[in-house]
């Protein structure tokens, strides 16, 4: 083979290897930007490590073909020195970033532990909200051990960049609702967690606030009162216990339970402090390349019940998790509805298990996953997400108003 042909062939191989290297690193970058998975047309990339290894191998191959294996000792030594220096610098930086991330997680999750809440309660000094706007900044220890914690009454602050106002009854409401009702009112109580509460939206943008405004806009001679008793982190059992402790005195006509898959779990503050000191896992790697795994890793260990503060928590709380715990809570809610003559609606994105429980117990439900076809609204609305955006809340308020009208529950009250 002639020298010109050999030179052309080497350039071609070197070019292809460089292209493979650049493309491999590009895929790794896209996986990181997408949080663990990059899909483009029919291309699906998840695990970055084989692609990272391919990129390095292709780069070394490109260098070898371009430089040659013989007579290029100095260039290879220079490359080796640079690679060693790069590896040491990158390794040191990543190690430091891992330590900083773990320290941040210990601090931020530590604010949301029962021990920290107890300390703030005893000291009489509220926990100051920081950029992470921890739940502990807007809650206090509850004297009711079944509730564990509750919203701080008469609180007004900036919370996560949004206005937050909690009334004297400890609800995220701008106004006060007297216990005694007007004869011409329809009273709706909302039980839920952070989704119904309106996490990440302004004071009057949660779907219960929008619902009250829209119902009263009709000017049909009825005063519609929608009391938002949702507390972030509550599960179904806590929501029902909150209704017993606080809501029944308000004599509701309708109780709406904002369903979320988190209702299967133990409530907030139950899990003990997590120290994020595992040696066989990298939180930084999971944060960069696998966000779903990262979200699982940062969750506190709710199974370590030996460290639960039983002096602050009713042991019955620990029986509220899982499908059977939810079933018992909904059965209790159904009995309360019959005894106190109010209608019940479970509202939200439900899997078949919880939808089946509602049907078995005889509680009305509106499954947004089934009733709102996929693609009806843009993804950013977050219709099926635990925390919709303001447009998503507005859309949900419309569906909620329609279902309450269809059931005939918005007529002049019976009282």
Q: What is the mean pLDDT of the chain?
A: 86
Which of the residue ranges 62-71, 134-143, 159-168, 320-329 would you say has the lowest mean pLDDT?
62-71
How crowded is residue 159: how many other Cβ atoms within 10 Å of its Cβ?
21
Pick the CATH number of 149-270+309-406 from 1.10.357.10, 1.10.150.110, 2.130.10.10, 3.40.50.1110: 3.40.50.1110
Structure tokens belonging to residue 410: 């918005």
The 3-state DSSP composition of the chain as helix, strand, coil percent (nearest 5) reads 50, 10, 35
Is pLDDT larger for residue 270 or for residue 32? 32
pLDDT tens track for 179-204: 988 888 999 999 999 999 999 999 99
DSSP type of residue 247: I
> Which residues are registered as beta bridge partners of 258?
347
Label residue 177 by pLDDT band (50, 70, 90).
Answer: very high
110 pLDDT above the threshold of 60 = no
Higher local confidence (pLDDT), 83 or 394 = 394
Domain residue spans of the chain: 3-70, 149-270+309-406
SS3 for 380?
A: helix
pTM (predicted TM-score):
0.70
pLDDT in tens, 271-294: 666 778 888 889 899 889 888 888
Q: Does residue 131 have a pLDDT over 50?
A: no
* Residue the block writes with tokens 């709406």: 256
**pLDDT tens per residue across span 300-347:** 554 444 455 566 788 888 888 889 999 999 999 999 999 999 999 999
Q: Is 397 helix (H, G, I), strand (E, B) or coil?
A: helix
């Amino acid at each position: 083979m002639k020298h010109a042909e050999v030179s052309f062939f080497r350039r071609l191989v070197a070019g292809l290897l460089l292209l493979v290297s650049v493309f491999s690193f590009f895929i790794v970058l896209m996986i990181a930007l997408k949080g663990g998975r990059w899909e483009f047309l029919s291309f699906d990339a998840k695990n970055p490590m084989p692609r990272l290894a391919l990129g390095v191998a292709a780069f070394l191959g490109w260098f070898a073909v371009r430089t040659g294996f013989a007579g290029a000792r100095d260039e290879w030594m220079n490359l080796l020195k640079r690679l060693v220096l790069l590896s040491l610098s990158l390794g040191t930086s990543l190690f430091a970033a891992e330590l900083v991330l773990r320290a941040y997680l210990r601090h931020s999750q530590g604010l949301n532990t029962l021990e920290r809440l107890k300390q703030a309660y005893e000291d009489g000094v509220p926990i100051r909200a920081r950029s992470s706007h921890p739940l502990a900044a807007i809650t206090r220890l509850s004297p009711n051990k079944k509730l564990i914690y509750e919203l701080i009454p008469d609180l007004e602050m900036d919370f996560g960049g949004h206005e937050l106002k909690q009334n004297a009854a400890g609800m995220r409401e701008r106004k006060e609702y007297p216990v005694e009702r007007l004869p011409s009112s329809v009273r709706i109580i909302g039980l839920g967690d952070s989704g119904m509460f309106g996490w990440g939206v302004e004071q009057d943008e949660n779907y219960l606030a929008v619902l009250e405004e829209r119902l009263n806009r009709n000017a049909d001679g009825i005063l519609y009162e929608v009391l938002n008793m949702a507390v972030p982190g509550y599960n179904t059992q806590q929501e029902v216990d909150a209704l017993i402790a606080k809501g029944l005195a308000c004599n509701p006509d309708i109780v709406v339970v904002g369903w979320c898959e988190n209702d299967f779990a133990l409530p907030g503050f139950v899990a003990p402090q997590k120290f994020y000191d595992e040696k066989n896992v990298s939180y930084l790697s999971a944060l960069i390349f696998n966000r779903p795994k990262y979200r699982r890793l940062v969750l506190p260990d709710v199974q370590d019940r030996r460290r639960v503060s039983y002096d602050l928590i009713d042991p019955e709380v620990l029986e509220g998790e899982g499908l059977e715990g939810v079933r018992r809570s909904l059965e209790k809610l159904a009995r309360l509805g019959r005894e106190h003559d109010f209608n019940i609606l479970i509202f939200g994105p439900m899997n078949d298990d919880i939808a089946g429980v509602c049907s078995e117990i005889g509680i009305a439900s509106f499954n947004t996953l089934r009733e709102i076809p996929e693609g009806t609204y843009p993804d950013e609305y977050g219709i099926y997400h635990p925390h919709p955006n303001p447009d998503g809340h507005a859309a949900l308020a419309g569906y909620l108003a329609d279902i309450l009208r269809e059931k005939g529950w918005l007529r002049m009250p019976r009282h």
